[in-house]
Amino acid sequence: MQRILMIGIDAAAGAVIFIPLFALSGSWLLKQRNRSGKIMYMLFAVYLAAVFSATGIPWYRNVIVTDMGVSWIPFADFLNSPVQYIKNSVLNVVLFVPAGIFLPLLWKEFQRLRNTAVFGLVLSLGIEILQLFTFRLTDVDDLIMNTAGSMLGYLIARQLFYVFDGKLTSEGGNCRLELPVLTGVVFLTCFTLQPYLAGCIWEWMYWR
C-alpha cells in the first residue's frame, strides 16, 4: 500500500508540472484534438509518470553506475523462487496494460498489434537501460513481460472499439509529434523537477 501511495504521489507531482505545459502548448501541440482527446493525452502522460516512478527512473542527482549486472537468461529466476517470480511477472504485465489501451485510442498508427508491441518493447528497453544507473537489476524477463502487457492492453482496447463501435478512437492526433514530445517531457520532468515537488508533498503530509 505504501508503494502504491508513493507512485501516486510521484505521478501527481509530475502532473502538476507537465500538465500545465501541455495545456499552454495545446494550441500548437494538440490543436487537432478535441477536448476528450486532450484529456486522454494528459491521462496518458500521468500514466507514464507512474510507470517511471514504479520502475525506479533515477533522479539526476542520484545517477550512479552500479555492478548489479544484467540477467540475460529468460525465466532463469523461476526455479529459484517460483512464487516471487510469478508475482513480479504479473506486476510487470499489468504495469504495461494501460499503455496498450491508451496507444490505439490516441493514435491510429497503434491500431496494429505490432506497432503497440514495438512501443512497449522500446519503452521497456529504455527503462531497463536507465536501471543500469540505479541499484535495480536489469532483467530480460521485464522486457518480455512488459511487452506482453502492452499486447494484452491492445487486445482489451480492440474489444472497446468493438463494443463502442469505434467511438472511443481519438481523432486528429499527430503521432510523430505528440508521442515524442509527451514521452520526452514526462521523462525530463521525472528526471529533474518531480522529485523536488514529491518531497514537498511528503513533507506536507508528514507535518500536517
Question: What pLDDT score was predicted for residue 62?
Answer: 62
pLDDT digits (tens, 9 = 90+) for 110-123: 988 999 999 999 99
Question: What pLDDT score was predicted for residue 61?
Answer: 60
In this structure, what C-alpha cell is assigned to residue 82? 517460483
**DSSP 3-state of 124:** helix
Question: What pLDDT score was predicted for residue 122?
Answer: 95
Compute the residue count for the chain.
208
Question: What pLDDT score was predicted for residue 164?
Answer: 57
Q: Mark the ranges of the chain whose per-residue pLDDT is less than 50.
A: none
Question: What pLDDT score was predicted for residue 169?
Answer: 57
Question: Which residues fall within 8 angstroms of residue 13, CB to CB, at 6 or more apart?
Answer: 194, 195, 197, 198, 201
Q: Render 139-151 in DSSP notation, one character per residue.
A: EHHHHHHHHHHHH
Question: What pLDDT score was predicted for residue 11?
Answer: 82
Question: What pLDDT score was predicted for residue 34?
Answer: 78
What is d(CA 86, CA 140) in angstroms, rounded to the nearest whole number? 15
